[in-house]
Each structure stands twice: as C-alpha cells, then as structure tokens.
Amino acid sequence: MSQPNFDAQRHRVRVLGIPIDAVSWASANTTIARWAAQRESRYVCICNVHSVVTAARETAFGAVVEHSDLATPDGAPVAWMLRRLGCVGQARINGPDLMSTYCGQAAARGESLFLYGGTEATLARLTTVLRERYPGIRIAGTISPPFRPLSAAEDEDIVKRINESGAGVVWVGLGCPKQELWMAAHRGRVHAVMIGVGAAFDYLAGTVPRAPRWMQHAGLEWAHRLASEPRRLWRRYLVTNTLFLLGAVRQLTVHRFSRKP
C-alpha cells in the first residue's frame, strides 16, 4: 500500500533547505481525513525549530522530512519564515492542536484512531481524556513500546495489531527524531496515516502542563518548556534556536537580494 510522496497540488517552501508545506488548518485536516478513509499508508511530520535544524544538519533525518507526505510548520519561527517567504497568513500547525481538532472531527465521523507511544499510564489517562472530551470517539488500540530497540517479531506484531484494528490514523508520540524515523520505516507496512505529535500525548493527557494560550500565540511556547525542564532542554534550545536564527537571517538576506531587479 505504498503511496506517492506528494499530491499534485502540494505547495512546499524550503526553510533552511528543508521543505515545509504551506497548508491551512482546514486543508491539513481534510487531507489527512481523505487518506485515512482510504487506509493509505502515509506519514506526517510536525516540524518545529528543533526538527528543522536537525533535518538540515543530519542527512538521514533530512531525507525523512523530505519524503514525508505532509510536513507542517510547527513552531512560530517556522510559520513566520513561511510568511516571510511569500505564504501570506500561514498559521502554525502544531501537534497538540492538530491532534485535538482532528480527534473531534474523527469522533463525529466514527473514524477509528490508534495511539502509539508514551507510557502505559499516559496512554490510559489520554484515552480517558479523549473519551470525555469527544463522546463517541473510537480508540481502536494503544501500544506503549519498550524504550529498547524492537525485535523483528515484536515489530511485526505491532504492525499486525495496528492494521487489524481498522484505525485510519495512528498518533505517534515517541519524540523527535525517533517518531519520524519510525514512521518513515513503516510507510507501506502500516495501513494508516501516521502522525508524529511529540509531547502532545502528555499535554492532552494533562501529565505535563502546556504553555498558557498567550505564550502560544506570542510564539513563546518554547520558553515555557525550557522553564519547565531547564536541565534537559537548555542546551537544545541554545544550540538549535541560535542555528535557526543564523540560518533564517542568511536565507532571508539571499531571498531579498534575489528578488531585486
């Protein structure tokens, strides 16, 4: 069930050399729903500053994003870059909100969903929250994979469970870049749309507090995460944010001069 890597009307813009889709909320949800209804094997990358910089620096990960079926601009700086490069009004299409809005629509359609990733406790809590928030939602199954590499037999069993569940969408919460590598390796095997949503499982389950709305709208959600987990995230944000800023300035400078007559 391997599918083409892009649709005819797809519009992508390169940010630091990495192709990101210029897409609206409505288009993203509609496209995913169309693929899910046909049980197409696709994967969606939610690209924030960290994933864009990682993709630009690491060839293997860059290829995963390059060949994704949809790469949305998560992170205010990524969406801002698309707007600066001509995509007027481009919104930030982030994992937690995409999962939340899509689950609501899927509940109304009676579409089955699968949850892959996170701990058993998080999955149990997330399932409860989704069923309370979206009455009638169909959670076809959940899997909390071990942190160690899977054996071939274990991997085959997971693929079988997902496919037999009848789910049209698999929400993947393994963290970047593990979830993207997993999705790319399973396109053509998992007969559903795989969407890597990072920390969305913890946010929606309420096990990790998300930034207030005003910080999200101001593009400061990263600052809230840094304040919540400074020891784990300070190096990541220091390095990736600096590299993104330098790369963005360089790209926009070239873009501006290339447009002059």
Mean pLDDT on 29-54: 97
Please state, for a pLDDT cut of 70, what percent of the chain lies above it: 87
Q: What is the pTM of this model?
A: 0.90
As given in the structure block, the two tokens for residue 64 are 């995963």
Q: Which single residue is written with the structure tokens 């519009």? A: 11
Burial-class residue 60 by CB neighbours within 10 Å (0-12, 13-18, 19+): exposed
Q: Which single residue is written with the structure tokens 């079988």? A: 160
For residue 173, give every residue at least 6 positions away whose Cβ sits within 8 Å of its Cβ, in sequence order, or none.
115, 116, 117, 118, 179, 196, 197, 198, 199, 200, 201, 202
pLDDT over 60 (residue 167): yes
CA distance 89 to 92: 10
The structural domains of the chain, with segments of one domain joined by +, span 12-214
Model confidence at 241, pLDDT cuts 50, 70, 90, reads: confident
pLDDT over 90 (residue 18): yes
Look up the CATH number of domain 12-214. Answer: 3.40.50
Q: What are phi and psi of 222, to 5 degrees?
A: -60, -35
